Structure 1
Amino acid sequence: MSSVRHEASTVDPTRIPVIVAVGEASGRGEPLGVEPIELIALAARSALENSRTTEPWIRRADSIAFCHIASWAYASPAAALARRFDATPVDLFDAPIGGQWPARLLDRAAARIASGESTVAVIAGGEAQATMSALIKAGREPVRDAGWSADPGGPPTFDLDQLGSAAMQQAG
């Protein structure tokens, strides 16, 4: 039997990642629904309120990472969210499609904070697929009739390679 000796590592207590707030929003009840980026901005405002601080810490975000939005295309949702809060992050990351990304983005943000690359990281995502489906069913055009963004707008595209490794795809 072999023994493994583990040395206690010293952790800088100022670099321990902590989730300070979460937020959510819904567009239910809106006659034409709410586009994903607006829902996400509303959720970010909710997170600011839930953090119980008077400081708008999202403006200090040096990292914004986004889960893929499947219901509507944006050139860079991370950059769009940064602009809404006058943040100037050095790290903007828009994840490809895949259900593993929320956890991977949390790991990524924690690693960046622990290493000193980041101090305030925002992870965001949201969908409006039900709204999109209702607009299409009603014969409404999201940009023209509901004021959705045309940057670039429309249904997003992705290739199957973004859905994970071959083993992940085989496992479903």
Structure 2
Amino acid sequence: MALLIGAGATAATDIWAAAQKRLLGIPPLDYALVGRWLAHLARGRFRHDPIAASPPVQGERLIGWIAHYLIGMAFAALLLVFWGLDWTRHPTLGPALIVGIGSVAAPFLLMQPGMGAGVAASRTPRPAAARLHSLVTHGIFGLGLYGTGWVASLLDTFQWRSCC
């Protein structure tokens, strides 16, 4: 269930990013740079100034996209650890938003500093706008957790009704 719910919630953030790009001209996160950071991290280098200036790594875009979805699945698993598998049968919005918005701690405290943007985007040209963008995106992730959980609960109910 964590894999399904996490993938669905992550897809919701990707749909949100595509809509922002199309409607508002806001470029989405370049997952190649995330992959570059992770590949360099595996080689012992945490901090870059900025990541775009660091040497590219073969397969960085694929690494970044795979990591993006695996991280979403990990946060969905965290939701289920804290609220239990019963949450998948009766999803509620509160826990999903707590995990979704709470997940913003990862980029604020790990990825952004490591990629040269500073803690909570403090070294970016418009830190307040970057923080708001991150918070909204992670809120969308929380809504995606809830929405995917809700759809999964309906499918699970349908499956049991049709077979038993």
**TM (normalized to structure 2)?**
0.33
Q: Higher relative contact order at CA 8 Å, sep ≥6: structure 1 or structure 2? A: 2
Structure number having the greater helix percentage? 2
**TM (normalized to structure 1)?**
0.32
